[in-house]
Amino acid sequence: NLTEVAAGVQWALDHPDATREELLEALMERISGPDFPTGGQIVGRRGIQDAYRTGRGSVTMRAVTEITEDKRGRTIIAITQLPYQVNPDNLLERIAELVEQGKVGGIADLVDESSSRTGMRIVVVLKRDAVPKVVLNNLFKYTQLQDNFGANMLALVDGVPRTLTLDAFVTNWIEHQVEVIQRRTAYRLRIAEERVHILIGLLKAIDRIDEVIALIRASESASVAQAGLMKLLDIDEIQAQAILDMQLRKLAALERNELQTQHDKLMAEIADYKDILSNLTRQRSIVSEELAEIVNKFGDERLTTIVADENDVTHEDLIAVEPIVVTLSADGYIKRTKAALYRSQKRGGRGVKGAALKQDDVVTNFFVTTTHHWILFFTNRGRVFRVKAYELTDTGRDARGQHVANKTYAITARLST
């Protein structure tokens, strides 16, 4: 989507010192994923993230459907948007074939209600005993109501085809646009300087117009006139030729003030062009301004929606967020315990046992956090490791826990205490 991509590029332009990972994360926040002209749905974000992080991925597209009832009270599946490049007529034929072959049951009728006024709408009328979700899932399985699109983020970099991550794509695009600005500005500078050079010659000619006209009329040839003008006005061949290219009537009609105004305007433009060429910040700012103009003209809302995929559920999503107590001993034994296993005590109470430690071992760290928080471990060798709190061994209050050297996050150095 142009608007989303532009937002990502603008962030990159505003943060030239961002690391690759920072840029990638910022772009992924702003650029949701592909946006197809026919709308539809993208199922899950994993394929998009793979494409953004590696340059290759596969995106699952689905039609936009709704299970509802028609005016006669029949249960129907209304299809209002199709995956990109899916032909409605071919889809209808395919569904009819599946019904005839018995691969998809529960369908009583197919109606194409599409029109130029209301847009695309295909209605699948279900039988009374049909289970709508089952029918819909079978249609996703056997027809192009669900389809996969491969993402291959290929681009020419220095004339060589390369598969790029999203951040590399944006970085290379910005570098290309900066180069375009530089080359365009250099061209404009050259044209302006050439015109100023001509104007200087014309101004000199106007200051001595009578002598110039007399010299031209008295000259036997153009080459003689050119040489005479160069000597008379102290100009070069290009300036002299520009004077000779004008009719004497037009040359005599030139107004000095008008030429001087043109000259001064061009000199200001030349100074601006030189400033642009010497200032990378200005070049990036021009890219930003021109991109904003494009978005104002052509930017639009996203047509393709992104819906969750049941397969996108991560291990962490299945772990409840709950308060825990983390204890770490001087000998490096660590554990987590549910905070609910501890209780507040009144004045004079005996308290409860918090850990079963070896002789001479004591608890050095004791704090409350939640299962989804990160915990950082700093070693006496200047290294740092991090784990999610739920990865720590879950034990009771009086358990010793597990030594950090045995944990899967590979803290092999002795912790500094």
In order of their start, the domains of the chain are 64-144 (3.30.1360.40), 190-279 (1.10.268.10), 316-406 (no CATH)
Mean pLDDT of 389-413: 66
Task: Count the neighbouring beta carbons within 10 Å of the beta carbon of residue 162.
Answer: 14
Per residue in 62-111, pLDDT (tens digit) is 999 999 988 888 899 999 999 999 999 999 999 999 999 888 888 999 99
Q: Is 169 helix (H, G, I), strand (E, B) or coil?
A: helix
| Out of 71-80, 360-369, 403-412, least confident range | 403-412
| Out of 16-25, 66-75, 286-295, 387-396, least confident range | 387-396
What is the structure's pLDDT at 407?
A: 52
Q: Is the pLDDT of residue 157 over 60?
A: yes
Mean pLDDT of 262-291: 96
What is the structure's pLDDT at 340?
A: 79
Per residue in 296-339, pLDDT (tens digit) is 999 999 999 998 876 555 557 767 888 998 888 888 888 888 88
DSSP conformational letter for 159: T
Q: Is the pLDDT of residue 412 over 60?
A: no
Cα–Cα–Cα angle for 287, 291, 297, rounded to 5 degrees: 155
What is the structure's pLDDT at 360?
A: 72
Per residue in 111-137, pLDDT (tens digit) is 998 888 888 899 999 988 788 888 898
Q: Is the pLDDT of residue 414 over 80?
A: no
Query: How far is Cα 251 from Cα 249, in angstroms, rounded to an integer?
Result: 5
The residues, ordered by sequence, that sit 6+ positions from 409 with a Cβ below 8 Å of its Cβ are 385, 386, 387, 391
Mean pLDDT of 242-251: 87
What is the structure's pLDDT at 369?
A: 92
Model confidence at 348, pLDDT cuts 50, 70, 90, reads low
Query: How far is Cα 410 from Cα 379, in angstroms, rounded to an integer?
Result: 12
Q: Which of 126-140, 189-203, 206-220, 320-334 has the highest mean predicted lDDT (pLDDT)?
A: 189-203
